Structure 1
């Protein structure tokens, strides 16, 4: 597969860089998940649901 030692070294360097990139991507995903699970995001989702429910309830009262 490899013709000389330079090709082997090049391939090893490339694999090392790909591994480092993958680890950095995982760190970014960890940060994103941590942000998504924060109480602030849960609260905003809850408030959004309450607004929708409240609007539907109000619209139902007006129609009756």
Structure 2
């Protein structure tokens, strides 16, 4: 990483503000990702996925019986 040469205290303060805002943005993105991950692992979501699989399997079995 290249070291930056500061010529005033204002430049340092500005860079610190930018870094603080970037940190806040990253924390919010992390919270959002965590929330999405929790939703994906919720039992209701698992049941919905399971029911979709059962429906597809049931339709395939029904089609097999109709075709025979």
For the criterion TM > 0.5, the same-fold answer is yes
Runs of 4+ residues deviating >2 angstroms: none
Please give the TM-score of this superposition, normalised by the length of structure 1.
Answer: 0.95
The gaps in structure 2 that reach 5 residues or longer are none
- Of the three residues 56, 59, 63, the one matched with 2:60 is 56
Query: Which is helix-richer, 1 or 2?
Result: 1
Deviation at 1:37, TM superposition (A): 0.4
Partner of 2:13: 9
Task: Report the secondary structure of 2:11's partner residue.
Answer: helix
Alignment length (residue pairs): 64
Query: Over aligned residues, Cα RMSD in angstroms?
Result: 0.7
Please give the TM-score of this superposition, normalised by the length of structure 2.
Answer: 0.90
CA distance in 2, matches of 1:45, 1:19: 36
The gaps in structure 1 that reach 5 residues or longer are none
